[in-house]
Structure 1
Amino acid sequence: MKTHVRALVVGGGAVGTSVAYHLARAGWSDVMLLERDELTAGSTWHAAGLLPYFNMSYATTWIHDYSIKFYKTLEAETGLNPGFSVVGNLRMAQSSARMDEYRLYAATAETVGVPFEWLTPAQIKDRWPLVNTEGLEGAIFHPTDGYINPADVTMAMARGARQRGVTIERRWQADAYHWTGSAWEVTLTKMVEKGGNLVPSDEQVVVTAEHVVTATGNHAQRTAKLLGIKSAAIPVEHQFIVTEPDPALTAWRATNGEHPVLRDADAKWYVREERGGWILGPYEEGAPARFQHGVPDSFRADLFPLDLDRIEEEYMSMIHRIPSAETVGLKDDFNGPICYTPDGNPLIGPAPGLRNMWLAEGFSFGITAAGGAGHYLAQMMVEGEAEIDMASLDPRRFGDWITTDYTARKNEGAYSHVFILHHPDEERPAARPLRTAPAYDRQKALGAQFGCVNGWERPNYYGPLDAPQSFDHDARSFRRGGWWPHARAEAQALRETAGLIDATAFAKHRLSGLGATAFLDWFTTNRLPKVGRISLTYALTFAGTTRTEFTLIRTAEDDFTLISAGGWHAYDQDYLYKAIMEKEAAFGRINEEDVTTKWGVFALAGPRSREILQRLIRDPEPATALSNARFPWLSVRNIELGMVPVRAVRVAYTGELGWELHHPIEMQNHLWDKLMEAGAEFGLKPVGARAQNWLRQEKSYRAFGSDLGRDATPLEGGLDRFVAQDKDFLGKEAMLAKGIRSRCVTLLIDGPEDADPWGREALLDAGGALVGRLTSGGYSVAFGKSIGMGYLRPDLAVPGTRLKVRMLGGLWDAEVTQDSPYDPANERLRADG
Structure 2
Amino acid sequence: MRTHARAVVVGGGAVGASIAYHLAKAGWTDVVLLERDELTSGSTWHAAGLLPLFNMSYATSHIHDYSVKFYKELEAETGLDAGFSVVGNLRMAQTDARMDEYALYAATAESVGIPFEWLTPKEIGARWPLVRTDDLKGAIFHPTDGYINPADVTQAMAKGARQRGVEIIRRAHVTGFERRGDEWVVKAAKMVEKGGNLVTSDETFEIACEHVVTATGNHAQATAAMVGCYIPAMPVEHQYIVTEPDPALLEWRKANGEHPVLRDADAKWYVREERGGWILGPYERGAPARFQFGVPETFRADLFPLDLERIETEYLSMIHRLPSSENAGLKDDFNGPICYTPDGNPLVGPAPGVENFWFAEGFSFGITAAGGTGHYLAQVMTEGEAEIDMWSLDPRRYGRWVNREYARRKNEECYEHVFILHHADEEREAARPLRTAPCYERMKAAGAQFGQVNGWERPNYFAPEGFDDHASRSFRRGGWWKYAVEEAKAARERAGLFDATAFTKHRIAGPGATAFLDWLTCNKLPRIGRINLTYGLTEAGTIRTELTIVREGEDEYYVVTAGAAQAYDHDWLVKEAAAKRADLGWIEVQDVTSQWGVFALAGPRARDILKEIIVDADPATALTNKAFPWLSAKNIDLGMVPVKAIRVAYTGELGWELHHPIEMQNHLFDLLVAAGAKHGMKLCGARAQNWLRQEKSYRAFGSDLGRDATPLEAGLDRFVDMEKVFRGKEAMAATGVRARCVTLLIDGPEDADPWGREALSLDGETVGRLTSGGYSVHFGKQIGIGYVRPDLAAVGTKLKVSMFRALWDAEVVEDSPYDPTNAAIRMNG
Cα deviation for residue 378 of structure 1 reads 0.3
- Equivalent-residue separation in structure 2 for 1:472 and 1:604 (angstroms): 25
- Equivalent-residue separation in structure 1 for 2:21 and 2:124 (angstroms): 39
Q: Please tell me whether the aligned partners of residues 602 and 660 of structure 1 are also in contact (alpha carbons under 8 angstroms).
A: yes
Q: Please tell me whether the aligned partners of residues 117 and 141 of structure 2 are also in contact (alpha carbons under 8 angstroms).
A: yes
Cα deviation for residue 251 of structure 1 reads 1.5
Choose 242-251 or 437-446, whichever is displaced more: 242-251
Secondary structure in 2 aligned to 1:622?
coil
Aligned to 1:793: 789
- Equivalent-residue separation in structure 2 for 1:672 and 1:472 (angstroms): 24
- Equivalent-residue separation in structure 2 for 1:640 and 1:64 (angstroms): 53
- Equivalent-residue separation in structure 1 for 2:263 and 2:397 (angstroms): 30
Aligned to 1:782: 778
Aligned to 2:421: 421
Aligned to 2:328: 328
- Picking from 654, 658, 661, the partner of 2:655 is 658
- Equivalent-residue separation in structure 2 for 1:328 and 1:225 (angstroms): 46
- Picking from 815, 821, 827, the partner of 1:819 is 815
| One-letter identity of the residue aligned with 1:510 | R
Residues 116-147 of structure 1 deviation map (CA, whole Å, 9 limit, x = unaligned): 11111111100111110121000000101100
Secondary structure in 1 aligned to 2:593?
coil
| One-letter identity of the residue aligned with 1:540 | L
- Equivalent-residue separation in structure 2 for 1:13 and 1:44 (angstroms): 6
- Cα distance change, pair 586–474 in 1 and its aligned pair in 2 (3 A): farther
Aligned Cα root-mean-square deviation (Å): 0.7
Mapping of 1:71-110 within 5 angstroms? 71-110=71-110
Q: Please tell me whether the aligned partners of residues 469 and 480 of structure 2 are also in contact (alpha carbons under 8 angstroms).
A: no
- Equivalent-residue separation in structure 1 for 2:165 and 2:213 (angstroms): 17
Aligned to 1:404: 404
Aligned to 1:488: 485
Point out where structure 1 has 5 or more consecutive residues left out of the alignment: none
Mapping of 1:713-732 within 5 angstroms? 713-732=710-729
- Equivalent-residue separation in structure 1 for 2:391 and 2:180 (angstroms): 28
- Picking from 798, 808, 813, the partner of 2:804 is 808
Residues 162-204 of structure 1 deviation map (CA, whole Å, 9 limit, x = unaligned): 0000000001111111112311011111111111111111111
| One-letter identity of the residue aligned with 2:342 | P
Secondary structure in 1 aligned to 2:674?
helix
Q: Tell me whether 1:741 sits opposite 2:712 in the alignment.
A: no
Cα deviation for residue 513 of structure 1 reads 0.3
Cα deviation for residue 65 of structure 1 reads 0.3
Cα deviation for residue 206 of structure 1 reads 1.4
- Equivalent-residue separation in structure 2 for 1:472 and 1:625 (angstroms): 41
Point out where structure 2 has 5 or more consecutive residues left out of the alignment: none
Q: Tell me whether 1:143 sits opposite 2:140 in the alignment.
A: no
- Cα distance change, pair 473–313 in 1 and its aligned pair in 2 (3 A): closer
Q: Please tell me whether the aligned partners of residues 235 and 340 of structure 2 are also in contact (alpha carbons under 8 angstroms).
A: yes
Residues 687-725 of structure 1 deviation map (CA, whole Å, 9 limit, x = unaligned): 000000000000000000000000000000000000000
- Equivalent-residue separation in structure 2 for 1:736 and 1:17 (angstroms): 36
| One-letter identity of the residue aligned with 1:584 | R
- Equivalent-residue separation in structure 2 for 1:581 and 1:735 (angstroms): 24
- Equivalent-residue separation in structure 2 for 1:579 and 1:287 (angstroms): 42
Aligned to 1:753: 750
- Equivalent-residue separation in structure 2 for 1:671 and 1:490 (angstroms): 21
Q: Tell me whether 1:633 sits opposite 2:630 in the alignment.
A: yes
Q: Tell me whether 1:431 sits opposite 2:431 in the alignment.
A: yes
- Equivalent-residue separation in structure 1 for 2:244 and 2:741 (angstroms): 55
Residues 87-112 of structure 1 deviation map (CA, whole Å, 9 limit, x = unaligned): 00000000111001111110110011
- Cα distance change, pair 466–136 in 1 and its aligned pair in 2 (3 A): closer
Mapping of 1:514-663 within 5 angstroms? 514-663=511-660
- Equivalent-residue separation in structure 2 for 1:648 and 1:480 (angstroms): 35
Residues 277-306 of structure 1 deviation map (CA, whole Å, 9 limit, x = unaligned): 110000000000001111101110000011
Q: Tell me whether 1:351 sits opposite 2:351 in the alignment.
A: yes
| One-letter identity of the residue aligned with 2:219 | H
Secondary structure in 1 aligned to 2:594?
coil
Q: Please tell me whether the aligned partners of residues 236 and 290 of structure 1 are also in contact (alpha carbons under 8 angstroms).
A: yes
Cα deviation for residue 473 of structure 1 reads 4.8
Secondary structure in 1 aligned to 2:44?
helix
Cα deviation for residue 607 of structure 1 reads 0.3
- Equivalent-residue separation in structure 2 for 1:109 and 1:334 (angstroms): 32
Q: Please tell me whether the aligned partners of residues 463 and 473 of structure 1 are also in contact (alpha carbons under 8 angstroms).
A: no
- Cα distance change, pair 473–17 in 1 and its aligned pair in 2 (3 A): closer
| One-letter identity of the residue aligned with 2:74 | L
Aligned to 1:154: 154
- Picking from 675, 681, 684, the partner of 2:672 is 675
Cα deviation for residue 755 of structure 1 reads 0.3
Q: Please tell me whether the aligned partners of residues 5 and 208 of structure 1 are also in contact (alpha carbons under 8 angstroms).
A: yes
Count of residues in correspondence between the two structures: 829
- Equivalent-residue separation in structure 2 for 1:745 and 1:718 (angstroms): 8
| One-letter identity of the residue aligned with 1:727 | K
Secondary structure in 2 aligned to 1:227?
coil
- Equivalent-residue separation in structure 2 for 1:475 and 1:45 (angstroms): 41
**What is the identity percentage for the equivalent residue pairs of Structure 1 and Structure 2?**
73
Q: Please tell me whether the aligned partners of residues 473 and 483 of structure 1 are also in contact (alpha carbons under 8 angstroms).
A: no
- Equivalent-residue separation in structure 2 for 1:770 and 1:90 (angstroms): 24
- Equivalent-residue separation in structure 1 for 2:823 and 2:400 (angstroms): 42
- Equivalent-residue separation in structure 2 for 1:829 and 1:280 (angstroms): 58
Secondary structure in 2 aligned to 1:517?
helix
Residues 586-640 of structure 1 deviation map (CA, whole Å, 9 limit, x = unaligned): 1110011100000000000100010000000000000000001110000001000
Q: Please tell me whether the aligned partners of residues 449 and 473 of structure 1 are also in contact (alpha carbons under 8 angstroms).
A: no
- Cα distance change, pair 714–472 in 1 and its aligned pair in 2 (3 A): closer
Aligned to 1:247: 247
TM-score normalised by length of structure 2: 0.99
Mapping of 1:314-393 within 5 angstroms? 314-393=314-393
| One-letter identity of the residue aligned with 2:463 | G
Mapping of 1:104-503 within 5 angstroms? 104-465=104-465, 467=467, 473-503=470-500
Q: Please tell me whether the aligned partners of residues 306 and 335 of structure 1 are also in contact (alpha carbons under 8 angstroms).
A: yes
Aligned to 2:41: 41
- Equivalent-residue separation in structure 2 for 1:662 and 1:737 (angstroms): 39
Q: Tell me whether 1:56 sits opposite 2:56 in the alignment.
A: yes
Q: Tell me whether 1:769 sits opposite 2:765 in the alignment.
A: yes
Secondary structure in 1 aligned to 2:15?
helix
- Equivalent-residue separation in structure 1 for 2:255 and 2:639 (angstroms): 82
Cα deviation for residue 466 of structure 1 reads 6.2
Q: Please tell me whether the aligned partners of residues 758 and 776 of structure 1 are also in contact (alpha carbons under 8 angstroms).
A: yes
| One-letter identity of the residue aligned with 1:817 | V
Cα deviation for residue 474 of structure 1 reads 3.9
- Equivalent-residue separation in structure 2 for 1:799 and 1:75 (angstroms): 48
TM-score normalised by length of structure 1: 0.99
Secondary structure in 2 aligned to 1:51?
coil
| One-letter identity of the residue aligned with 2:222 | R
- Equivalent-residue separation in structure 2 for 1:223 and 1:743 (angstroms): 41
- Cα distance change, pair 472–458 in 1 and its aligned pair in 2 (3 A): closer
Cα deviation for residue 327 of structure 1 reads 2.7
- Equivalent-residue separation in structure 1 for 2:279 and 2:5 (angstroms): 42
| One-letter identity of the residue aligned with 1:769 | E
Cα deviation for residue 395 of structure 1 reads 0.6
Q: Please tell me whether the aligned partners of residues 292 and 404 of structure 1 are also in contact (alpha carbons under 8 angstroms).
A: yes
